[in-house]
Copies of this chain bind each other. A is one copy, B any other.
């Protein structure tokens, strides 16, 4: 929804004022819209674009060197008036005639057309190119009836680059019409946007559904289906677009195209990149050479949830014009001095670490430790969801996933280390690095620190004794506290680790064997982990709901307790 506004009636005027204040080096305001604040070459064609507001970067964000000379700005989703178009054209005119371009909507066609007639009457040559890229809005036979969506940019960009090169109005019109005929888009929507001050969205798509082909103002689409996966969406869009290869392109295989994957407002960059990954695979498979694609927000509808894919089929001239540099408020490319590409094969990326020689006793211990890691992996696999649930109460709910990623990587690294005859110390070190590397987050680092503490205490030579393990855990406890700065009572893993290592140390000192001492220590850890339910988190990065976690044990303490209990079973098996 649109939350930030003053008087809704003044929304567009105030947004325009703010836009011009932020981008004075590119644009200045004139009655009806904005024009470039920089000088253009006298005698060149001026490209004037426009339409309703609410679609930023379209249209005002696309005014600047290498792109439009002016943008006419209507009210929210409403065509500007003919007077506005006329005013912006008069101000943008460089003496080479005016090319008007805009999406093919009834109101815009009327008003830009009226303005064109008036300009021609006054002796200013003027042509109109309506953008008709939306393949869902009419059949191919009725192409001139199609609406314009994100493909606007390819037409504007081509026209403007041609104008910048000194093309005549006739020639600018020719290339921008050619660009339009080689541009095909298709969009989907998940929900509509809310106008400032409105009680509800302009339209809704039913929860869990995706409207295929819905227009950027909610114009009817072609069908409705369940929200697909990112890959399925890529497949849907690419397959429809490839059904309609424009005249002049022999076949997809061997063709060049630019690609625009456009977010309409609240589909964010990361999601678009996940979709683009598959789009790019599919285009490569179809034999299409992708030229300077764009993934981001090019034409929005306030905070509408939706996206569109555009293919712009290039020939030599259109490719040159598409690649030409631009410096506008919201679209810039081709700046700076050219830089040579690097040779990625020569990058300094660390090699696999060498495995130091190990004693037979240590290699045997490595086997036991590997077995324990395998058991822990199974434990975490079985409990990842529950750990995530615990974490979601006061954190970001990723503790289960993080532990799973970590232990899977650690266990795989340990398996591989065994095949290379690693001792206990090296196996633990490689498992530690893999855990920390793959798990990410603070808990990943802490498990890395613990396993590394075990690694350095056990080494690759001694036969590990109960005393070694007790020492190792004492070092792990001390390193973790040093590293993570957590104290007892902060509601972290330390609250379970402290009684665990203290009990283990004491029991071993008192002459207990490893299995027995570990069992008592594990029981202490279990009890302590449960007791964290009474605490409130004191540190950490994503704990806005810290208070809410009272009554729930800390997931880090809980997973430590579960793990030491599982390891206890392995120790008992080996000792027994």
Tell whether A107 is near chain B: CB-to-CB under 8 Å.
Answer: yes
Q: Provide the residues of chain B in CB contact with A539, threshold 8 Å.
A: 106
With known contacts A4-B230, A90-B348, A336-B325, A9–B440 Cβ distance under 8 A: no
A481 close to B (CB within 8 Å): no
Measured between beta carbons, the chain B residues less than 8 angstroms from A560 are none
C-alpha spacing A110/B442, complex, angstroms: 8
From residue A566, how far is it (CB to closest CB) to chain B in Å?
23
Query: A83–B436 contact, CB under 8 A?
Result: yes
A56 within 8 A of B: yes
**Neighbouring B residues of A334 by C-beta, 8 Å:** 335-336
Task: Tell which of A299-307, A359-367, A506-514, A520-528 binds the partner.
Answer: A299-307
Most chain B CB inside 10 Å of its own CB: which residue of A295, A396, A405, A539: A396
Q: Closest B residue to A275 by CB, please name it.
A: B4
A15: contacting residue among B220, B274, B296, B302, CB under 8 A: B274
B219–A31 contact, CB under 8 A? Answer: no
> Is the CB–CB distance between B106 and A541 below 8 Å?
yes
In the complex, whether A21 has a CB less than 8 A from a CB of chain B is yes
Residues 329-349 (chain A) with a chain B CB within 8 angstroms: 330, 332-336, 339-342, 344, 347-349
| Cross-chain contact B274 with A30 (CB below 8 angstroms) | no
Nearest opposing residue in chain B for A483, CB measure: B110
Complex: A65 Cα to B4 Cα, angstroms: 35
**CB atoms of B347 and A39 under 8 A apart:** no
With known contacts A37-B341, A110-B483, A438-B81, A274–B53 Cβ distance under 8 A: no
> Known contacts being A220-B544, A268-B2, A437-B83, is A18 close to B349, with CB within 8 Å?
no
Q: Which of A71-98 contact B (CB under 8 A)?
A: 74-84, 86-87, 90-91, 93
State whether the Cβ of A187 lies closer than 8 Å to any Cβ in chain B.
no
A107 CB contact (under 8 Å) in B66, B339, B445? B445
Cβ of A439 within 8 Å of any chain B Cβ, yes or no, is yes
Q: Smallest distance from the beta carbon of A20 to chain B beta carbons, Å?
A: 9
Mask, A518-559, CB within 8 Å of B = 1, is 000000000000000000000111111110000000000000
Contact with B along A280-315 (1 / 0, CB 8 A): 100000000000111110001011010100000000
Give the chain B neighbours of A35 by CB distance below 8 A.
347
| Chain B residues closer than 8 Å to A75, beta-carbon distance | 398, 402, 405, 440-441
Q: In the complex, which of the residues B11, B114, B296 contacts A270, with contact meaning CB atoms closer than 8 Å?
A: B11
Number of residues of chain A lying within 8 A (CB) of chain B: 146
A396 engages B277 (CB within 8 Å) = no
Question: Would you call B274 and A14 a contact (CB within 8 A)?
Answer: yes
**Which one, B6, B203, B227, B542, contacts A3 given CB within 8 A?**
B227
Residues A21 and B325 in contact, CB atoms below 8 Å apart: no
Most buried by B among A269, A397, A398: A269
Assembled-state Cα–Cα distance A401/B484 (Å): 59
A571 touches B (CB below 8 Å): no
Q: What is the CA–CA distance of A4 and B300 in the complex, to the nearest angstrom?
A: 17
Determine if B220 and A546 form an interchain contact, defined as CB atoms under 8 angstroms apart. Answer: yes
A382 interface residue per 8 A CB criterion: no
Q: What's the Cα separation between A278 and B21 when bound, in Å? A: 10
Determine if B16 and A273 form an interchain contact, defined as CB atoms under 8 angstroms apart.
Answer: yes
- Quick check: is A239 within 8 A (CB to CB) of the other chain? no
Residues from chain B with a CB closer than 8 A to the CB of A5 are 229-230, 271, 274
**Residue A425 is within 8 A (CB to CB) of chain B in the complex:** no
Residues on B with beta carbons closer than 8 Å to the beta carbon of A397? 195, 198, 202
Residue A491 at the B interface, CB < 8 A?
no
Please list 15 pairs of residues, one from A and one from B, whose beta carbons are closer than 8 Å in the complex, sorted by A's number.
A3-B271, A4-B230, A5-B230, A14-B230, A14-B277, A18-B272, A18-B295, A19-B276, A22-B261, A22-B276, A106-B484, A202-B396, A217-B541, A220-B543, A296-B330
Seed contacts A4-B272, A28-B344, A37-B342; 8 additional CB < 8 Å A-B pairs = A3-B267, A6-B230, A12-B270, A40-B339, A77-B542, A78-B441, A84-B440, A266-B266
Interface residues of A (CB under 8 A from B): 2-6, 9, 11-12, 14-19, 21-22, 25, 28, 30-31, 35-40, 52-54, 56-57, 61, 65-66, 74-84, 86-87, 90-91, 93, 105-107, 110-111, 114, 190, 195-196, 198, 202-203, 214-215, 217-220, 227, 229-231, 233, 261, 265-280, 292-296, 300, 302-303, 305, 307, 325-327, 330, 332-336, 339-342, 344, 347-350, 396-398, 401-402, 405, 433, 436-442, 444-445, 448, 483-485, 539-546
